[in-house]
């Protein structure tokens, strides 16, 4: 009886399984009884400690540019979550020369390789993680109009402002949705905003630096920018939701809160009063006017901001990234 129930479990693949969002997705999939294949580098010890990992998690060493490796990881899977993507911390070194190799190739060619491998494996559904970087850089979008799924970052504007991450994400998501138009694969894309919250992986990811900087850079002046935020666990739940709901089609923006940096620092200080918060903020009139209404209509819900901030800071303290103030 036990063998039969294991055989009947659905098998899915998560690319970049050791990353920030993907680690939480793997955790939730295992808890729900899925058999999980993960592509990952050597930084995956934390995945092996997850509940049900010893029986139901299989890790594969496969680069996004390694088509055969991806085929091996995706073989036998009915669903695939393509989460892996390079995220630069700071500016890209030698941007004019390097962005093609560092960002565009892994994002665009990598996405194509994953989708080709999904087609070969006859996967029933693919969820591709994009980003609001593929939504928000659009100078032609009417200023007071909410940015919804119809809004795309302008590729020429990305190049002009040397925003190569936005360019890579826009090109990769376009590639995925154009692939879907062929009708051979059921592909859904999800565009999370700035992802914060507790980390499962050992190394600090780029988006977590946003909160860490506010908590530790007391002497620095911070731009009072309007930031769209979402909890990492809510993103993982959104990815599972669009995978499991047959009616989920096309593109979904995944964001929960919009808050200015000064207001965010004030909120953090209300929960954790003893950290070295920035005291100087410069004006910034940019407004992140994004809507996740389409995802919420599908049934997605998100955590309270106070809970997200508390869980994140306590997690940083537990990991020794922050020393309790």
So which residues are the catalytic ones?
169
CA–CA separation, 238 and 323 (whole Å) = 32
CA–CA separation, 167 and 14 (whole Å) = 23
Q: Which residues of 85-115 are buried (b: 16+ CB within 10 A; e: fewer)?
A: bbbbeeebeeeeeebeebbbebbbebbbbbb
CA–CA separation, 252 and 298 (whole Å) = 10
Radius of gyration of the CA atoms of the chain, in A? 20
Q: Report residue 44 as tokens.
A: 């995956």
Q: Residue holding tokens 């693919």?
A: 126
Distances (CA, A) of 221 to 161, 201, 204, 225, 287: 23, 29, 22, 12, 19
Helix axes 209-216, 305-318, angle to 10 degrees: 80
Q: By the 8 A CB rule, do 229 and 196 touch? A: yes
Q: Which residues pair with 37 in a beta bridge?
A: 13, 58
Alpha-carbon dihedral 115, 118, 123, 125, rounded to 10 degrees: -20
Q: Closest Cα to residue 170, out of 191, 184, 141? A: 191
Q: By the 8 A CB rule, do 230 and 211 touch? A: no
């Amino acid at each position: 009886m036990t063998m039969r129930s294991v055989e009947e479990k659905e098998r899915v693949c998560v690319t970049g399984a050791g990353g920030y969002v993907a680690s939480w997705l793997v955790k939730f999939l295992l808890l729900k009884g899925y058999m999980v294949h993960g592509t990952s580098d050597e930084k995956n010890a934390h995945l092996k400690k997850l509940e049900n990992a010893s029986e139901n998690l299989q890790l594969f060493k496969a680069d996004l540019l390694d088509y055969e490796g991806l085929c091996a990881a995706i073989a036998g899977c009915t669903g695939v979550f393509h989460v892996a993507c390079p995220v630069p911390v700071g500016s890209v070194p030698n941007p004019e020369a390097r962005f093609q190799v560092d960002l565009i190739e892994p994002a665009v060619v990598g996405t194509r390789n994953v989708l080709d491998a999904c087609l070969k494996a006859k996967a029933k559904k693919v969820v591709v993680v994009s980003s609001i970087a593929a939504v928000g850089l659009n100078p032609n979008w009417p200023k007071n109009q909410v940015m919804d799924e119809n809004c795309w970052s302008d590729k020429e504007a990305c190049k002009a402002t040397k925003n190569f991450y936005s360019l890579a994400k826009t090109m990769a998501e376009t590639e995925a949705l154009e692939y879907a138009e062929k009708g051979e694969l059921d592909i859904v894309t999800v565009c999370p905003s700035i992802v914060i919250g507790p980390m499962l992986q050992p190394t600090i990811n780029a988006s977590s630096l946003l909160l860490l900087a506010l908590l530790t850079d007391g002497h620095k002046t911070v731009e009072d920018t309007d930031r769209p935020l979402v909890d990492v666990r809510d993103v993982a739940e959104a990815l599972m939701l669009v995978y499991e709901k047959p009616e989920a089609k096309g593109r979904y923006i995944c964001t929960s809160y919009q808050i200015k940096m000064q207001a965010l620092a004030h909120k953090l200080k209300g929960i954790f009063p003893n950290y070295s918060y920035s005291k100087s903020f410069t004006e910034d009139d940019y407004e992140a006017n994004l809507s996740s209404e389409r995802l919420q209509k599908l049934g997605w819900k998100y955590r309270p901001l106070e809970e997200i901030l508390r869980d994140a800071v306590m997690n940083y303290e537990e990991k020794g990234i922050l020393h309790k103030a």
